[in-house]
Amino acid sequence: MAKRIEVSGLHAYYGGVHAIEDISMTVEPRSVTAFIGPSGCGKSTFLRTLNRMHEVIPGARVQGKVMLDDEDLYASSVDPVAVRRVVGMVFQRPNPFPTMSIYDNVAAGLKLNGVRRKSRLDEIVEESLQGANLWNEVKDRLTKPGAGLSGGQQQRLCIARAIAVQPQVLLMDEPCSALDPISTLAIEDLIAKLKSQYTIVIVTHNMQQAARVSDRTAFFNIAGTGQPGRLIEIDDTSKIFTNPEQKATEDYITGRFG
């Protein structure tokens, strides 16, 4: 299931603004890779280039190569919609569809892509909610609106929705930044569980979180306002947090700036 991502020479732009510059890295399958760095350094932008969500924004474009195993996501023959089915995404703010029930939220990706058989949908909805550690809390109220759940439950609902389409890679853009510590713990446990099946990339502002959940950590930085973001270094999480190669990484982690 899980696939390796290999990025080489990637640049991203918003109109005339050069947002990230020349990024190359490898994301290992069945592992958690965390992106850390100060605000505006391009972590989220880079994350969004990995499932072609970047180009949804008018005027945004990408240069470079993103290989998912042996397929180039940016080859001209590739359909971005198909890419997003393989590379799922969870957003910073929980965003369940407000018009849909809990069940329909989880089934949305499948239903909107033409899966109609009720038994199959039931099965996948239960599996996904189990997978997102939410099943026990919502199994008696699947027909209730998804927006009626608490923030942490909504975020797990969004994770269930993302894994219901059975992606190979799961991108998470600060999934816990709007949640309380208990819900954060629930999500972190979930990440640890999901990594046996998926390639997970998580953007986080919380360095303890990066240290707790990730196997590898990438540090991004910008030289100054208006400059494009760059990848400073990527290494095993334990190495980044104890003995980073770069001075900037050490300064950031020890809280000397940012």
Partner 1 sequence: MTSPTLTKKQTSLSSVSFGRKAKDRTVQALVYLAFLLALIPLVSVLWTVVKNGAGRFDGVFFGHSMNGVAGKDAGGGAYHAILGTLEQVLITTAIAVPIAVLTAVYLVEYGAGGRLARVISFFVDVMTGIPSIVAGLFVLALWLLALGFSFSGFAGALALTILMIPTVVRATEEMLKLVPNDLREASYALGVPRWRTICFVVLPTALPGIITGIMLAVARVMGETAPLLLTIFVTKAINTNPFAEPQASLPTFIWDQAADPNQNSIDRAWAGALVLILIIMLLNLAARFVARRFKATGR
Among 26, 63, 113, 238, binds partner 1 (CB under 8 A): 113
- Assigned token pair, 20: 């990230």
Q: Are 248 and 219 in contact (CB under 8 A)?
A: yes
Among 30, 91, 207, 246, binds partner 1 (CB under 8 A): 91
How many residues at the interface with partner 1, by CB under 8 A?
Answer: 32
The residue range among 24-32, 104-112, 205-213, 229-237 that interacts with partner 1, by the rule CB under 8 A, is 104-112
Output 165 or 191, the one with its CB closest to partner 1. 165
Among 8, 95, 227, 246, binds partner 1 (CB under 8 A): 95
Q: Does 88 bind partner 1 (CB under 8 A)?
A: yes
Among 24, 26, 63, 99, binds partner 1 (CB under 8 A): 99
Output 58 or 224, the one with its CB closest to partner 1. 58
Shortest distance (Å) from residue 113 CB to partner 1:
7
Chain centre to alpha carbon of residue 198: 11
- Assigned token pair, 96: 């369940």
Q: Are 7 and 35 in contact (CB under 8 A)?
A: no
The residue range among 23-31, 90-98, 183-191, 209-217 that interacts with partner 1, by the rule CB under 8 A, is 90-98
Closest C-alpha among 47, 44, 45, 50 to residue 74 = 50
x-or-dash string of contact with partner 1, 20-59, rule CB under 8 A: -------------------------------x-x--x-x-
How many Å apart are CA 24 and CA 6, to the nearest integer? Answer: 8
Among 17, 75, 82, 192, binds partner 1 (CB under 8 A): 82
Q: Restricting to residues 196-255, name those near partner 1 by CB under 8 A.
A: none
Q: Which residues of 28-42 are buried (b: 16+ CB within 10 A; e: fewer)?
A: ebbbbbbbbbeeebb
- Assigned token pair, 230: 């760059």
Output 56 or 192, the one with its CB closest to partner 1. 56
Q: Does 177 bind partner 1 (CB under 8 A)?
A: no
Residue carrying the six token digits 């592992």: 31
- What single-letter DSSP state applies at residue 214? -
How many Å apart are CA 217 and CA 43, to the nearest integer? Answer: 12
Output 160 or 222, the one with its CB closest to partner 1. 160
The residue ranges that bind partner 1 (CB under 8 A) are 51, 53, 56, 58, 81-86, 88-89, 91, 93, 95-99, 108-109, 111-113, 145-148, 158, 161-162, 165
